[in-house]
Amino acid sequence: MSRISENIKYLRKKTGLTQEQFAESIGIKRSLVGAYEEARADPRISNLIKMAELFGTSVDILINKDVMKLSEAELLTSEFKRGKEILAITVNDEGRENIELVPQKAAAGYLNGYSDPEYIQELPKFKLPILPTNATYRAFEITGDSMLPILPGTIIIGEFVEDVRDIKNGKTYVLVTASEGIVYKRVFNYIQDSGKLFLVSDNRQYAPYQIDMEDVLEVWSSKAYISVRFPDANESKEVSTEQLASIVLDLQKEIVKLKEEKSG
């Protein structure tokens, strides 16, 4: 058997799927699953992408790695490595990528349509010449006051993050999540330690919380914002270095506690 056939068979069984159930999940015939697992046929790239999404891993790992030797964290981390080829985008008449805007009223629909080219095509679009052209951007209208002095209704422009390992602790990101919807927070990356991200608000009235990595659909690193309202001088100020250090210390204590509970 080839590496890819062994990987498919191992991950299918690991997820508790029969060949019939697996075939239905990715839209192919059961006989084709048998051919893949017995190395009598190689999957097309479109089917590899569907498999990778189903298993929460990457096409690269399916093809090149021995998944039986990878830790759970290594398999899960790959869920965040999403190539630009499967990211839905639009381009203008000059062939350059647009910045699509996800307004508040479209936030719920985006959770279902974020990977659908037809849905993305219907979103409002604009361009911002000051941004570098070698990246993909999307704009999100935020709600609530958890990130003061960034006000509700502000539009955050984010750069697509392909790999979770690129998340920088303490920086702000827009996360598209299955359970929390679209959130804008400071993020601390503890994927390797616990498989979780810790989300922190600049408004200290809101408590930090954690989210499982597999709950995250997209990650966008904040690069700019647009607002028609100027921050009030009395609004909460941006988190200081000392406050961030305190937050990190609290998160580290939480990680140690999680490890102790897991080992116990």
Residues 157, 210 within the same domain: yes
Q: CA 260 to CA 264: how far, in whole Å?
A: 6
Q: What percent of the chain has pLDDT over 90?
A: 45
Residue 85: pLDDT band by 50, 70, 90 thresholds?
very low
9 assigned to some structural domain = yes
For the chain, what percentages of helix, strand and coil (3-state, to nearest 5) are there? 40, 20, 40
Q: CA 242 to CA 263: how far, in whole Å?
A: 32
Residues 51, 142 within the same domain: no
77 assigned to some structural domain = no
Residues 103, 195 within the same domain: yes
Q: Which residue has the higher pLDDT, 12 or 263?
A: 12
146 assigned to some structural domain = yes
Residue 240: pLDDT band by 50, 70, 90 thresholds?
low
Convert the pLDDT of each residue in 197-217 to its tens digit: 999 999 989 999 999 877 888
The DSSP secondary structure of 85-101, one letter per residue, reads GGS---B-TTSPBPEEE
Convert the pLDDT of each residue in 97-120 to its tens digit: 999 999 999 999 999 888 888 899
Mean pLDDT across 229-238: 63
75 assigned to some structural domain = no
Residues 65, 91 within the same domain: no
Please say which residue of 43, 70, 97 terminates a domain: 70
Identify the domain containing residue 128 by its residue range.
Answer: 84-263
Please give the mean pLDDT across all residues of the chain. Answer: 84
pTM to 2 decimal places: 0.63
Q: CA 139 to CA 158: how far, in whole Å?
A: 6
239 assigned to some structural domain = yes
- At position 151, the amino acid (one-letter code) is L
Residues 50, 99 within the same domain: no
Residues 40, 111 within the same domain: no
76 assigned to some structural domain = no
**Looking at the 3D structure of the chain, how many domains does it have?**
2
Convert the pLDDT of each residue in 19-70 to its tens digit: 999 999 999 999 999 999 999 998 988 888 888 888 878 777 888 888 888 8
Q: What pLDDT does 181 receive?
A: 93
- Evaluate if residue 235 carries a pLDDT over 90: no
